[in-house]
């Protein structure tokens, strides 16, 4: 029962994302920017360095991701 409910929830989530993706991709391409939000309290994934800049693995991945995918 739990597996069935989880599968249904996953399929509904994927369907919703696919519908919104076309508009989102067009918006990203027209603006040239992707805005994301993170919580910088999970080192080494994201944290605030000595210069008060948010850095870490997640930041590096997010900065390189648009160069690869769009």
What are the pLDDT digits (tens) for 2-13? 888 887 777 667
pLDDT score of 23 more than 80: no
pLDDT of residue 22: 59
* pLDDT class of 64 with cuts at 50, 70, 90: confident
Q: Let me know if 62 is exposed, middle or buried by CB neighbors in 10 A (0-12, 13-18, 19+).
A: middle
Q: Which residues contact 40 (CB under 8 A, 6 or more apart)?
A: 46, 47, 48, 54, 56
Pairing of strands 41-42, 46-48: antiparallel
- Tell me which of 65 and 30 has the higher pLDDT: 30
- Tell me which of 22 and 52 has the higher pLDDT: 52
User: What does pTM read for this prediction?
Assistant: 0.51
Q: Let me know if 19 is exposed, middle or buried by CB neighbors in 10 A (0-12, 13-18, 19+).
A: exposed
């Amino acid at each position: 029962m739990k597996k069935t409910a989880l599968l249904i929830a996953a399929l509904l989530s994927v369907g919703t994302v696919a519908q919104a993706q076309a508009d989102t991709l067009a918006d990203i391409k027209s603006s040239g920017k992707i805005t994301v939000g993170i919580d910088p309290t999970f080192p080494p994934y994201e944290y605030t360095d000595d210069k008060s800049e948010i850095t870490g693995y997640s930041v590096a991945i997010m900065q390189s991701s648009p160069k690869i995918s769009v």
